[in-house]
Every structure is written in C-alpha cells, then in structure tokens.
Chains A and B, each alone.
Chain A
Amino acid sequence: MTDLMTGPGAVLDDDLLRLSPAIGYTALVLVALSTVLIGIYGLRISRTTGDFYVASRTVRPWWNASAIGGEYLSAASFLGVAGLILISGVDALWFPIGYTAGYLMLLLFVAAPLRRSGAYTIPDFAQARLDSLLVRRVTSLLVILIGWLYIVPQLHGAALTVRVTTGLPPWAGPLAVVVVVCLSVVTGGMRSITFVQAFQYWLKLTALAVPVAFMLFRLGDAGLPVTAGGSAFTADLDTTADASLYGTISLVIALLFGTLGLPHVLVRFYTNPDGASARRTTLIVLGLLSVFYLFPTVYGILGRIHTPELAAAGAADATVLLLPGRILGGVTGDLLSALVTAGAFAAFLSTTSGLVVSLAGVVSQEFFQGSVRGFRTAALLSAAVPLGIALLTDSLALAGSVGSVFAFTASTICPLLLLGIWWRGLTDAGAIAGMLTGAVSCGGAIAATAVVGAGDRWVLLSQPALWTVPTAFLTMVLVSRATAGRRPASTSRVLARLHTPEPR
C-alpha cells in the first residue's frame, strides 16, 4: 500500500492527486518570501552578542510560546494527524492528545528546572549535572541520532506535498527544504529565528482554520453532508486492524514522555528569562496546541466523507492538501489550497530548521570545538544525512514514523532528564547504562518492526515504549545505586540551582 504512495517512479492516479502547479509554486514563494522578510526584520533588531543569546529575554511569553508552537508543529501534526484520522478514525485522536500532553509532562517535570540549569543543550545539562565528559558524549550521540530520525519524516512530508502540488519528482521537496534551511542557518544563524518560528505558528493555524470555516459554510449552505449522519465516525476505511489497548497505552506513554527529550523543544526553553516564565510560556503553548489540533481533526472527519479514496490509495497524508479543492472548487478552492500548501511548507521548514540549528550546536561543540566554521559544517552535516536517508527510504504514515522517534526519546533522554533533575542518586555510570539499555531495546524493536512489519502479533515491537521506558528507568536507578560512590560532589549545589527560584 505504502509503495504506491512514494518511492521513485511510484504510480499515482493523476486525477486523484493533482492540484494546479501554479498553486504550489505560489505557496512556496509566499512562504519563502515572508520567512526571509521576517528574518531580515529580526536581524535588524538583534545585533550584539547579548541579543544573540538572550534575544528572547526581551520577547514576551506569547511570542516565545508561538515560536515553540511554530517549531513543534511538524509535518506529522499538519498533514499526518488528519491522514491518520482518515484511515483509522478514533484511534488516531491519541496522536494529537499525546503531542499536546507531552508539554504537560514537560511543564510538570522539566520546564523550570531546565531553564534554571542554564544548560543550552541536553549534553550541556548532562555534563553539568553529572560532571562527566563520557556522559556528555553518549548524550550527544543520542541527541544527534534522534534529530536525524526526526528530520526524515519532515522530508517525507515535503516530498509528498511538493509532488501533490507541483508535480515535481519526489526528491525535489526534501531537497528544497534542506537547501532553504541550510541557507538560512548557515548565513543567518539563530538570531532572528524566534520571530520566524512565531510567525509560522500563526501561519499554520490560519492555513488550517480559514479553509475549515469556508468548507463548513459551503457544506452547510449546499446541504452537503458534514458527518453524514454519523457515518463519518463509523466508516471503516482502515486497512489494518484496530489498535489494541496495549498499543494505545504504549503510544500515549511514548508521546507523553518523548516530547520532553526532543532537542529542538528544549533549546527553546532556554530563551525564557527565568523559571517562572518558562512555566508561563509552557502554559500558553498548551493552549496554542489545543486550539491547533482541533483543525486537523476536522479535516480528518471531513476527509472520511469527501476524500475516502485517499485511504486506499495510500495517500491519506494528502487529505489536508486536497480537501479544500475537493469541497470548494473554483477560485476559492485554488486560493485556499494555496494557503494550506503554504502552511504545510511552513511546517517542514520550521521544524527542520529548528532541529538543524539545535543539532548543529551539539555537533559543532562535540566535534568542531564550537567555532563558527564548525557550526556551518555541522549544520550542513545535520541536514545532509537525513536528506540521504529520506531519499533512500519510502515514507510510512507520517504520524506513525514520528511516533517511533518519540518512543526512542522517551526511552533514552527522558530518564536522564527526569532522574537528573529530581533524584540525587543519579551517577554517570547509571545514566550511561540506562540510556544505552533504552537505546538498544527501543532501537532494536523499531528496527525489528521495519523487518517483520507492524502486524498485530508484533505490537510489542511496533509500540515498544510501554516496556522500554520502564526498563531504561530501572536500569538507570539500579546501576546508579550500585555505583553510589560515583555521585558527583556537586550534586547538592546543582540541584539547589535547578530548583530554587530566581532572586526577586
């Protein structure tokens, strides 16, 4: 089924998947242009070192939260959620719930302490907390791996969007995204990125919300079915079996605890002035995400009535792109399709650039002594590797492949952060043992799924978080206990810094 969707030389029903190329190009140019303009505006107002590092300290929580939302809402959210709802109905609603509630966990356990740690990246935090270069190295490698795995689905989404909207071959989309991201990162660095990302949140929201309003109005006006008397909810378009209870719970655990280890998410928290405002920002982010996810849900439901054939064609992720044209048609349909396409591009660009920037920071500090040249090389490297992977692999459902990255993060970085922030007993040996156990078990399960396929019998492998996350935690605790002599002398001081409020 999925072979049909992508892969070089895939056969696609042209009538099914076609928008006028003019729409696609217009949208591409609009997004690129507005991104550049806002970037220049941001560049103008930030010139000094202080501006560079703490630019966001002068930015209000609303801007900051919008930027976080802009960076976080990826291809999986913008296209994948609606596609998954189209295919598997109510079970797919767990994805947006997990993506949102992940920020609740971040708020409860990580936001304020991590901001107060002053660490800029996760490896920085690991080194400061555990006073060990080896922990730093292991964490860096994991962060780089996670970043690469997370960029790949973004590029798959770009391939799909560019193919649907412009008819260009599948490699064009990923290449375009990587080139734009590299150009902006290599030349401009991160200076103005907060404004760009914040703008892109609102662009994405508008791009989904405005067509929904038009579509619902048209459907109501013409007396066409909205939910078709409820059959939108019961229609069985699924080509696989229903999600099991185990699968659902495991997925929720992965999404809840994976969010708080994502590299590009954590970088953003450093841009808050203090711990208390980190919390306020997270609160706003939760609101922004909750509002946003209503719209992909509506697309998914409408898609079940108006574009059900996309499920069988293996192109469910194109639902958001095709639905406005299908329901509205004419000039209105074209304009709104362009808007949705623009939103999709914004999603790939913002998430990919956020990831590339945070990865480049880690890679350059680890391997290039943190020089500017090194940062640029690292940025190219951070984008080129996932580009290669994306071009060599076929995309699965976007939301699903992002889900396994969350499981991997939850099994590796999450225990390090949670135990590092809240438990005095953590040692460097324990941290390394736990992270490696989580990486091997979860990574192995994901790799095995790729080999045997995600059947019902293999749900333990395709949704591994429910057993790999506790295993990683347990290993970390037990090995730390066994090596209690290795507790760093600075533990009390570091923990005090993490948890005491900033002076009034």
Chain B
Amino acid sequence: MRIECPFCGERDHSEFAYFGDAACARPAPGAADAQARFVEAVYLRENPAGAHRELWYHEFGCRSWLQVTRDTRTHEILEVRLARESTAP
C-alpha cells in the first residue's frame, strides 16, 4: 500500500502511522448530552466495508496529518488531502 503525500509524493505506508476513523470529532464538553456524545466519539464506529475516511500521520516524512479515503475491501487509496483542509464530518 502506497500513500500519495501532498508534500512528499507517493510513499510506502510503513512511513505513516494510522490514527483511525477521521469522522470522530470531539463533542462540545459543555453540551447537555456530552456524556453520550463522548461515548459515541470515543467508542462507536461505522467500520464500513468500502470507502473509509481515515487519519494517517506521515511520521517518517513531513510529519503532516493526512485524511485518506481508502477502500477497506481492496486497500485502494481513493483520495488524500491534508487533514487541516478537510471539512469536519
């Protein structure tokens, strides 16, 4: 599996650290239903078989956080963008 880093070009995935589903946003801690929202954000996952938006960190490269869309059935990389430029879920 090779990931096309926006800065470094196509690199082997062993240069990257995986950080899981990109859709997990930290809820507002002051909200009335904050506890239930935190349980969802920390523990519950869509875990799709197909396109999956996920975070990878280019640890042995430019050290940027990337949002990668990847097909979990084939490992095909569909899209790579910088995590800070991606829109929240």
A and B together in one complex? no
- Residues in chain A within 8 A of chain B (CB atoms): none
